[in-house]
Structure 1
């Protein structure tokens, strides 16, 4: 079969219009850079990614300026590697997968992937980037049991087997699996990708295979690492932005670690993207991320203390933000939230209490709880009626959307809910009208929250009133994210409220892992996800028919060859979720406020999501520029 080269077609050209090699452009130097750096023609690849901003409806920007933004925790500095969204492959605004750091990809039979890096591409320290960096990752990091004791991650397995890996030349590598691997390319485009490349020239000094033993021992002692492997893992920090010495390919990089409250990210002078006027991106010199109390960020945003803010802002902040626009000269854009539901109530199907477990797995019980919620009231009271009441599922923007997925078992019907609970056998009630469970305990559900969103608590107050009509008592319990996950791990969590399905706008070629019990971090079925992730050494084996079928479908997706096959799989998985009400979604289509102050090229209409989306990333933050 002839190789199909992924160059993206017309949609790719619209998003990343290629104007030919850099030699055809009049490349312009970036003002303010260190004069000791090589000229721009030597800093960018011989064929950089040239962006036609006018084709995207944007304007050619100007270099310079500092963009201030607020974060709620020190570790959120890692978001710079999300928002920058430089990926081997990335999604454009039409949700098409296109080459980015890569010059191109050849795909054969869905199982042979030949990756072509850009000739002349360099890391942020000026060292060449290419095949050796991908080889180092595959052979010396992910295939090394001391660095990766869990073995190859799922996206590098096809039908349970790893790939044959080859270096073809300095800029070309090939991964070959025996079976199709539809996870591979989409994984590379995630907000938190696996980074299947590493700066080999930097990390080799900490690897026992390449480094000097005395130097490794001395460095390990400095960071209190027991051996070379934990030392290497500390230094190998592609996502979290903690190691300021680690070279990067992102548009902005962290240069010092002097403060945990104010982070200054500076431009990468060797970045691979260039605009059609010959200016190297990014336009903005520095991104300044300042830590603030998350509860104060909306007020600080209204006071004009940030140039670009969406993090820690919610729909409930829109009214206040709108009031401050004229006084502090900013715009509150309302982007489309990509979550399947603004929030979902999650029954824990692997809760360890046997009475609760039996109840949570009874489809009639979940249907009754869903039917007992007045979503129209929630939408009106909490979201001014602007959202869409319904299940936690794909949104209308997704080609996989069907109206039934949103509405099934999601109408408000107290009589039907009560009849279902009676049918289960929950007919006895206490003096307060609360139903009694099979062991005589009152049907009192503690719904735990992460404590990060007041709207969740407001929603639970309204739902508590609804559920009282069907003889169910709801108590809300604010906690912390880490505590919530720990209680899911121990099996003590009965029910929680969380954000809805992360990717509400999928295409069939995107992984349906949100719908299957394959992630231990899931509050819906931690034990099953842990069993899958640990290859059977942890958690619990699947023992519930709907989850078993979801797993079968997910496994079928992993070896599917065509988009048509994958679409059928997605549709059945979505149908199971609609039929079973595995997650009790509430309201979708809620807008995300994005405050913009003195920044140009930020779209007023955008997608705000994690995967796909990377918050600002899908809209290419490196193309934003400051308005002087």
Structure 2
């Protein structure tokens, strides 16, 4: 339903969008009188007549509404760092909290763009030793404490532990905090320290890393700023630029962002939509121009380097075989190679995901694994949610 904003469009979904326009502060979905499902007693679903969506600027606004008790149920955007505050206000504002398992390999991930347009930066970002330096300059334990109250697991592997593709020996490969190793790796890459203490390119020209993000506030932005400080500590001039999602997302997909930020969800069954495993399409911000090339079968975008082309070839083999054992072998090889090459640089993952539920809102599962790819909470069949009337 997320894309069906046309209020005139017929739908087989439980609710129909009946009120929405660009720039509005809300969206309204109304019960579909022709919905095809009934409950076990023959009563037509859905139970809820209207769903009112607040359209807000950022996660800070989401959390403000939830803490005030103004949301019937909310999972996405609810910050674990504010969990103690939620618990303090729960009784007064008539809600309770759930903690769901989240299939995020990392809740905050950095995407050095290996197809970035500037040739000097492209060569640098394609250097695995440089990416390793970025990774080993991060203190993931501190990031975990600040962003997830210490409840996540510092890690670099691109899947969660419950995935069939999980491999324990690489769970946190190149993830140890070692600032001296990071500096020595930059020396090996050939980035001398300039007179001002910042690293330069080999020819002495200035070097500045630019991290872009749609996180404009909250604990995730705190984590990004912290990583920028870690990179500055090894001599890399680093700038953080924040912007709204409607500006950020097109820039990232158009290959305009040097280092993008997001999470790495799809951690249980990543081959369903492998955008974090290799350049699959324009959403693969580790190299969106290469992803466009793969998506268009070479008609658009740019041809990838050898390392990323190998991952594409492995995925083509994965799709071509019907042997489940061979599929598993190939998928695990993709995960292993992309993790060890740090194509995405992760911080910590598998933190519990908080959920706010009003006490009169029912049929929300307490035990659930949340993931974008399954459209959480869509697998609960929200047509069965109901609101107790006073």
What is the TM-score with the length of structure 2 in the denominator? 0.91
Measured in 1, the distance between the counterparts of 2:253 and 2:381 equals: 37
- Give the alignment partner of residue 619 of structure 1, picking from 380, 383, 390: 380
Measured in 1, the distance between the counterparts of 2:277 and 2:95 equals: 39
The 5 A counterparts of 1:228-239 are 239=3
Deviation at 1:522, TM superposition (A): 2.5
Distance 1:314 1:402, change over 3 A: same
Deviations 1:160-182 (A, max 9, x none): xxxxxxxxxxxxxxxxxxxxxxx
- Partner residue in 2 for 1:164: none
Deviations 1:333-388 (A, max 9, x none): 12222222101111010111111111111111111111111101111222221100
Which moves more between the two structures, 335-344 or 441-450?
441-450
Deviation at 1:287, TM superposition (A): 1.5
The 5 A counterparts of 1:479-494 are 479-488=243-252, 491-494=255-258
Distance 1:346 1:490, change over 3 A: same
Deviation at 1:471, TM superposition (A): 2.0
- Partner residue in 2 for 1:320: 85
Measured in 1, the distance between the counterparts of 2:378 and 2:157 equals: 24
Consecutive unaligned residues in structure 2, runs of 5 or more: none
- Partner residue in 2 for 1:252: 15
- Give the alignment partner of residue 302 of structure 2, picking from 522, 527, 540: 540
The 5 A counterparts of 1:475-624 are 475-488=239-252, 491-500=255-264, 502-506=265-269, 510-542=272-304, 544-597=305-358, 598-611=360-373, 613-624=374-385
Measured in 2, the distance between the counterparts of 1:463 and 1:276 equals: 52
Measured in 2, the distance between the counterparts of 1:413 and 1:504 equals: 27
Measured in 2, the distance between the counterparts of 1:447 and 1:514 equals: 18
- Give the alignment partner of residue 193 of structure 2, picking from 399, 424, 429: 429
User: Is 1:390 matched with 2:151?
Assistant: no
Deviation at 1:399, TM superposition (A): 2.2
Deviation at 1:578, TM superposition (A): 1.6
- Give the alignment partner of residue 95 of structure 2, picking from 330, 335, 340: 330
Deviations 1:218-267 (A, max 9, x none): xxxxxxxxxxxxxxxxxxxxx3221x232211111234568944433222
Q: 1:326 aligns to what SS in structure 2? A: coil
Measured in 1, the distance between the counterparts of 2:17 and 2:255 equals: 39
Q: Report if aligned partners of 1:275, 1:281 keep a CA contact under 8 Å in 2.
A: yes
User: Is 1:461 matched with 2:230?
Assistant: no
Q: 2:70 aligns to what SS in structure 1? A: coil
Q: 1:515 aligns to what SS in structure 2? A: coil
Measured in 1, the distance between the counterparts of 2:285 and 2:261 equals: 9
Measured in 2, the distance between the counterparts of 1:561 and 1:591 equals: 35
User: Is 1:305 matched with 2:67?
Assistant: no
Distance 1:413 1:625, change over 3 A: same
Deviation at 1:420, TM superposition (A): 1.6
Consecutive unaligned residues in structure 1, runs of 5 or more: 1-80, 83-238
Distance 1:405 1:276, change over 3 A: farther
The 5 A counterparts of 1:310-459 are 310-391=75-156, 393-426=158-191, 428-459=192-223
Measured in 2, the distance between the counterparts of 1:569 and 1:512 equals: 13
The structure whose Rg is larger is 1
Q: 1:446 aligns to what SS in structure 2? A: strand
Measured in 2, the distance between the counterparts of 1:325 and 1:473 equals: 43
Measured in 1, the distance between the counterparts of 2:212 and 2:54 equals: 30
The one of the two structures with greater contact order (alpha-carbon pairs below 8 A, sep at least 6) is 2
Deviation at 1:554, TM superposition (A): 1.3
Measured in 2, the distance between the counterparts of 1:453 and 1:554 equals: 37
Let me know the Cα RMSD of the aligned residues: 2.2
Which moves more between the two structures, 428-437 or 570-579?
428-437
Measured in 2, the distance between the counterparts of 1:414 and 1:366 equals: 13
Deviation at 1:491, TM superposition (A): 4.4
Q: Report if aligned partners of 1:353, 1:492 keep a CA contact under 8 Å in 2.
A: no
Q: Report if aligned partners of 1:512, 1:570 keep a CA contact under 8 Å in 2.
A: no
Deviation at 1:607, TM superposition (A): 2.2
Q: 2:110 aligns to what SS in structure 1? A: strand
Q: 2:165 aligns to what SS in structure 1? A: coil
Deviation at 1:571, TM superposition (A): 0.2
Deviations 1:44-100 (A, max 9, x none): xxxxxxxxxxxxxxxxxxxxxxxxxxxxxxxxxxxxx15xxxxxxxxxxxxxxxxxx
Measured in 2, the distance between the counterparts of 1:286 and 1:487 equals: 35
User: Is 1:282 matched with 2:43?
Assistant: no
Distance 1:393 1:558, change over 3 A: same
Measured in 2, the distance between the counterparts of 1:287 and 1:255 equals: 10
Which moves more between the two structures, 450-459 or 369-378?
450-459
